[in-house]
Amino acid sequence: MKTFDINKIREDFPILRREVNGKPLVYFDNGATTQKPKQVIDAITRYYADMNSNVHRGVHYLSQISTDAFEITRRKVQAFIGAKHEHEIIITKGTTESINIIASCYGRAFIQAGDEIIISAMEHHSNIVPWQMLCDEKGCVLRVIPMNDRGELDIAAYASLFSERTKLVSFTYVSNALGTINPVKEMIDIAHEHHVPVLVDGAQAVQHLAVDVQELDVDFFAFSGHKMYGPTGVGVLYGKEELLNKMPPYQGGGDMIKDVTFEKTTYNELPFKFEAGTPNIEAGICLGDAIDYIESIGLDAIHAYEDDLLHYATSRLSEIEGIRFIGTAAQKSSVISFVVDGVHPYDIGVILDKLGVAVRTGHHCAQPVMDSFSIPGTVRVSLAMYNTKEEVDVLMDGLKRALTMLL
């Protein structure tokens, strides 16, 4: 394991040196988006200053170096998640678009009226709504894996949901609202026993946990750059070559074609078949710099540090009278959601902001999760590798002050 130097890491993030409302920024909204290290910020500036040009289409120098840099990122992603082929890596706008691609393209090709899709009770809206839209269009049926009051999926119930009508399973690796780490490999194996492919939403996983898509044997895997210290507007869809080749394109346009006539279009090979139009070139290139940054520290070291911080923060927050944790799974990653008796989460969030502490309040794009706990929302503290125990102590002081004012 690499040495984890928290002081050096914090120096890499310029925004952590700023103040909010006259107080040093304490940023605990990493589940929504992470801050960016100077290595990524500098790479964004370097792209526009030194190589700005469209990719895949030009013979001139700038286009060639931009294309090379963009494709280097694809190879970095391949290595980062352990994909077999670089052409199995589709560059998208983010996790949401990646899921929508599968809902649209796999759904168009393989799902018919009466077929069933399995998702879980803890999904982000991005892994619910696309399947509901497909069900409305196709007349297929959505089945939901239940969870217990700790925020853990019922795996026995999950296994019982399969039938000859089941055509796809889609679930999150780590819950954005609860922090639950699901038993992904076990769930994939169960689906494959029924010859059903699996999509895993890895948006809350890849920045915290090492992922190997071949070891998992997952069929599709999606994640976003901005949640892993990279730019916004870029993400990844991994898919097994065989399945991607069988699926129709998502959109029509430039780069996803080989030949076009008014009579017929021949589609391009992978990965370009699913990458119509000019991509977010800067973000695609600089996603590679974010991967480099994570790997320079090491995911094992990151996970160990964040796990220790999670336990410390949970222990400290447990001191608050009337607190109720939402999501107490045995396996968790970097998210603490809670409510306090008699206090609305929004009010807590507003007062913490005045004290320079950024947390997320609300339903976290997971309204069915909130409904299952009969609450309108939570205060969510989501941790990253640059957070510290001292910042947790600042959160505690602010929370105590907020509750003194609100109760």
How confident is the model at residue 1, as a pLDDT? 55
How confident is the model at residue 258, as a pLDDT? 80
The question of whether 365 is a catalytic residue gets the answer yes
Q: Where are the beta strands (DSSP E) in 320-389?
A: 323-325, 335-340, 357-358, 360-362, 378-382
How confident is the model at residue 255, as a pLDDT? 82
- Whether residue 132 sits in one domain with residue 108: yes
Report if residue 335 sits inside a domain: yes
- Whether residue 370 sits in one domain with residue 333: yes
- Whether residue 307 sits in one domain with residue 291: no
Report if residue 11 sits inside a domain: yes
Measure the CA–CA gap between 324 and 328, rounded to whole angstroms.
10
* Helix 38-50 × helix 281-297 angle, to 10°: 150
Q: What is the pLDDT along the chain (407 residues), one digit of tens a residue?
A: 568 999 999 999 999 999 999 999 999 999 999 999 999 999 999 999 999 999 987 889 999 999 999 999 999 999 999 999 999 999 999 999 999 999 999 998 999 999 999 999 999 999 999 999 999 999 999 999 999 999 999 999 999 999 999 999 999 999 999 999 999 999 999 999 999 999 999 999 999 999 999 999 999 999 999 999 999 999 999 999 999 999 999 988 888 778 888 888 888 889 999 998 999 999 999 999 999 999 999 999 999 999 999 999 999 999 999 999 999 999 999 999 999 999 999 999 999 999 999 999 999 999 999 999 999 999 999 999 999 999 999 999 999 999 999 97
CB of 380 closer than 8 Å to CB of 191: no
How confident is the model at residue 263, as a pLDDT? 83
Stretch (H or E) spanning 118: strand 116-120
Report if residue 251 sits inside a domain: yes
State the residue range of the domain holding 68: 42-295
- Whether residue 224 sits in one domain with residue 186: yes
Report if residue 35 sits inside a domain: no
- Whether residue 86 sits in one domain with residue 191: yes
Stretch (H or E) spanning 90: strand 89-92
- Whether residue 207 sits in one domain with residue 130: yes
Q: At 66, which CATH number?
A: 3.40.640.10
How confident is the model at residue 125, as a pLDDT? 97
279 Cβ contact partners less than 8 Å away, ≥ 6 residues apart: 55, 70, 91, 234
What are residue 176's DSSP bridge partners? none
> Closest by alpha carbon to 126, among 191, 196, 203?
203
End-to-end Cα, the chain, rounded Å: 46
Q: At 354, which CATH number?
A: 3.90.1150.10
- Whether residue 160 sits in one domain with residue 136: yes
Measure the CA–CA gap between 20 and 367, rounded to whole angstroms.
30
Exactly one of 135, 140, 286, 365 is catalytic; name it. Answer: 365
* Domain boundary, last residue among 260, 275, 295: 295
Task: Count the Cβ atoms, other than its own, within 10 Å of residue 183.
Answer: 15
How confident is the model at residue 268, as a pLDDT? 81
Report if residue 37 sits inside a domain: no
DSSP state of 36: -
DSSP state of 321: T
Residue 349 buriedness (CB in 10 A; 0-12 / 13-18 / 19+): buried
How confident is the model at residue 2, as a pLDDT? 67
Q: How many structural domains does the chain have?
A: 2
